[in-house]
Structure 1
Amino acid sequence: MTMIELEVIAGIDTHADTHHVAVIDTTGRRLGDAGFPTTLKGYKAIAAYLAAFGLVRRVGVEGTHSYGAGITQHLKDSGVRVVEVIRPNRQVRRMRGKTDQVDAYAAASAALATDDHPKPKQLDGLVEAARYIHAARRSAVKARTATRVQIKSLLVTAPEQIRARYRSTADTALFPALARTRPAPEENMLTRTIMSSLKSLARRYQHLTAETDILEAELEQLVFQINPGLAQTKGIGTVTAAQLLITAGGNTDRLKSEASFAALCGTNPIPASSGKTTRHRRGRGSYRHANSALHHISLTRMTYDQRTRDHIQRKKQEDKGTREILRCLKRAIAREVFTLITNPIPVVDHRKLRPLRQERGLIQVQAAAALGVSIAKISLAENGRVHDATFLATYETCLRNTDLTP
């Protein structure tokens, strides 16, 4: 007689040092639970523990991109299907109590309840590398801003002779000047101490600026490798492109539709009508950094993109408020970004533009005149500083097909 292997569902309550695993069958009957350390040996023990119960249909993990990242990757590498489960509702937790065992069984029950679970993000590849660089850059920028504010605050409360010395100095010259200062021995102790402190802060500011530039250059190379079409889209810079790629994840098949990506970015329309007022607001259960990236793209396009300005005028004619117009604009940009991420477009390699122009025997003045743009834009395009795929394609086509012989 052929034995039918039992199908089981598992749930894992994740923590920094230990994971608690609970196993149930397809009817919800509890089969067992145990705790394991968050080490490679512990991950192997979890996989063996699950296999001992039968065929593992899927494993529900809380926090697949935080404390559960290691076990998620290990189980996926072992061929086990892992799904993301949301922690229980606070009200339910108050009624049922909370222990690692209770949370693990709750995760298993949530994994059993439906097949429609979010897929965990891919935890390796270029997008994950970009996430680390992006996080380091964001931290450096935040520290640099704090240092700048601190320098300005100390100068405000400094003695008059120090304030007068730097009162009319622009920031571009202020920080190098402070970093070069050498307190004179004849100055009093307070002045020497103040200048020494300002010098230390100015040097820190310069170091953080250099660190930010290095990280941004590395991030730019990664973004261009991952999705050059996104990096060349008008209004989308290196940092915003990186953030949107990180939000989507390396496995873009986890995004079921452009609406799901909009929800991740917090631009999905949530009804917020009352009485005679009919309006929508943005979703708040989202990635704040992704929404911030779309906000920056929106502000850039509102200034430089005629298509965006026309869109705003149409919305104003529909009696939309400023906040509603901005939400609609971010929703439209999210739709465009989703298409670029899931269906990358061929792009122009900016590194080929200058050799191609020189091969034609042209100077930048002639190319700028033929396209009706400034010389500066031609120079920026050839150095990869123009984020406008349409313009770059037009420039390349002009160089290849148009007679611009001097």
Structure 2
Amino acid sequence: MTTPITELIDSSPELEVVAGVDTHADTHHVAVLSVTGARLGDLQVPATTGGYEQLLAFIRSFGTTRLVGIEGTSSYGAGLARYLMSQEVEIREIVRPRRAQRRHGKSDPIDAYAAAAQTLAEPETLPMAKTGDGVIEQIRVLLAVRRSAIKARVAVIRQIKSMLITAPEAIRSRWEGLNERCLVESLASTRPGPATGSVTTATGHALRRLARRHQYLTVEITELEDELRILVGRAAPAMIARKGYGVITTATLLVTAGANPERLRSEASFAALCGASPIPASSGKTNRYRLNRGGDRQANWALHQIALGRLSNEERTQNYAGRLRANGKSKKDVLRCLKRAIAREAFHLIVHPEPVPATEDLRDLRHQRGATLVQAAMNIGAEPARLSELERGKRPNAELTTAYRAWLTAA
């Protein structure tokens, strides 16, 4: 610990200071600078609630806290970031320096002072940290579990198919030609006999265990999606009700935006965060833009899925894409423009959500009219199952709700 230079600098409450924190799994190192850049002191504290209190008290001992920069607010610094926000301390996310920039060596005090200097020099350009709390944090952790379950299930079915290729002839010929669902159900219900009996029975046991693992993962994924549907409907009802936004794509965009979307300065910054902002790719006589391969790739995937869905079944998007192609845009350029437009729409749905039409009374209105789901669906050009989901609040859709209500209440 460096001794604070209180003899040289007045530590009265009127003095404003900034701080930088280098975070680790077990300890955090904080360094404090005056607004003129003078080093006031640094301290190492444990990564516990008591350590957070000690860290904040250390910063405030030098004066009024203007800003605190923290490395890794979504990893090692998440707990500290939540504590400082609860104490109404303004914080910023510090981007870890590249190795080429570490010309003066590396240590916890050096990194902490570097974070403090960056906080002092670039307060307007540094990103605001996510709060990491509330419904969005619930969505994030469930989404992470679902993502790993999806990967595990893909690995299981790949292993089943690979094992069938090298399986004994009796097993390979028995399960040949089945689709994935029937194959898993059939393998899970087999009784191959003792696994120690022969190669055939051992292979049968292995395939049955893999099939049952696949079924377990499917149940887990379904349960997670049901839970996510509830949370997403609570966090962003306007977004999930808009055409093209599914549970997973909406959840992904919400996690990217964070629980405090006001930290996003504009819809352009959100597009850049999602990797959907246009990147200049001009040279000589060529004047064009290309896809942005940076940003959050999961959010970019979500925008891509929404764009593909709308291209296949939304007339407005199809007409827009047709105009772009008529102007000489390639398929990649059309997707880039679509994703940029969807990012703009998603930003406003998150930051400035619109009222969502109610659906609780749709079934009663249909019964009062004496119509069946099939009759209603035929009149408004929808699927009966889709209207049933709408009435039960399973898959909200603002446009469909408006059209359905207009037909139900028509004279």
- TM surpasses 0.5: yes
Q: Does 1:166 align with 2:186?
A: no
8 Å Cα contact 2:37-2:117 kept in structure 1? yes
| Aligned position for 1:110 | 118
Q: CA deviation at 1:375?
A: 2.9
Aligned length: 400
Measure the CA separation in 1 of the matches of 2:41 and 2:253: 41
Q: What's the TM-score once normalised by structure 1's chain length?
A: 0.94
Q: What's the TM-score once normalised by structure 2's chain length?
A: 0.93
8 Å Cα contact 1:223-1:238 kept in structure 2? yes
Among 75, 79, 91, which residue is 1:70 paired with?
79
Q: Calculate percent identity across the aligned residue pairs.
A: 49
8 Å Cα contact 2:13-2:62 kept in structure 1? no
| Aligned position for 2:7 | none
| Aligned position for 2:3 | none
Measure the CA separation in 2 of the matches of 1:361 and 1:387: 23
8 Å Cα contact 2:85-2:131 kept in structure 1? no
Among 382, 398, 406, which residue is 2:391 paired with?
382
| Aligned position for 1:254 | 263
Measure the CA separation in 2 of the matches of 1:140 and 1:96: 44
8 Å Cα contact 2:195-2:205 kept in structure 1? no
| Aligned position for 1:362 | 371
Indicate how the Cα distance of structure 1 residues 127 and 259 shifts in structure 2: closer, same or farther if over 3 A, else same. Answer: same
Q: Name which of structure 1's ranges 257-266 and 186-195 shifts more when overlaid on structure 2.
A: 186-195
CA deviation string 1:348-368 (max 9, x = no partner): 344432233123322113212
Q: Does 1:35 align with 2:50?
A: no
Q: Does 1:298 align with 2:346?
A: no
3-state SS of paired residue (1:96): coil
Among 353, 363, 369, which residue is 1:344 paired with?
353
8 Å Cα contact 1:261-1:338 kept in structure 2? yes
Q: CA deviation at 1:374?
A: 3.7
Q: Name which of structure 1's ranges 254-263 and 358-367 shifts more when overlaid on structure 2.
A: 358-367
3-state SS of paired residue (2:404): helix
Q: CA deviation at 1:247?
A: 0.7
Q: CA deviation at 1:299?
A: 1.0
Q: CA deviation at 1:272?
A: 1.2
| Aligned position for 1:319 | 328
Q: Name which of structure 1's ranges 384-393 and 254-263 shifts more when overlaid on structure 2.
A: 384-393
Q: Name which of structure 1's ranges 278-287 and 204-213 shifts more when overlaid on structure 2.
A: 278-287
Q: CA deviation at 1:113?
A: 0.9
1:108 aligned partner, one-letter code: A
1:212 aligned partner, one-letter code: I
Among 269, 277, 287, which residue is 2:278 paired with?
269
Q: CA deviation at 1:83?
A: 1.2
- Say what the alpha-carbon RMSD is for the aligned residues: 1.9
Q: Any gaps of 5 or more consecutive residues in structure 1?
A: none
Q: CA deviation at 1:275?
A: 2.2
8 Å Cα contact 1:231-1:387 kept in structure 2? yes
Equivalences for residues 167-246 of structure 1 within 5 A: 167-184=176-193, 189-246=198-255
Q: Name which of structure 1's ranges 274-283 and 98-107 shifts more when overlaid on structure 2.
A: 274-283
Q: Any gaps of 5 or more consecutive residues in structure 2?
A: 1-11
Measure the CA separation in 2 of the matches of 1:83 and 1:381: 42
2:211 aligned partner, one-letter code: A
| Aligned position for 2:137 | 128
8 Å Cα contact 2:256-2:299 kept in structure 1? yes
| Aligned position for 1:8 | 17
Measure the CA separation in 1 of the matches of 2:78 and 2:99: 24
Measure the CA separation in 2 of the matches of 1:92 and 1:275: 33
Measure the CA separation in 2 of the matches of 1:352 and 1:8: 57
CA deviation string 1:363-399 (max 9, x = no partner): 1132123313343433343344555321121112322
Measure the CA separation in 2 of the matches of 1:186 and 1:104: 59
| Aligned position for 2:55 | 46
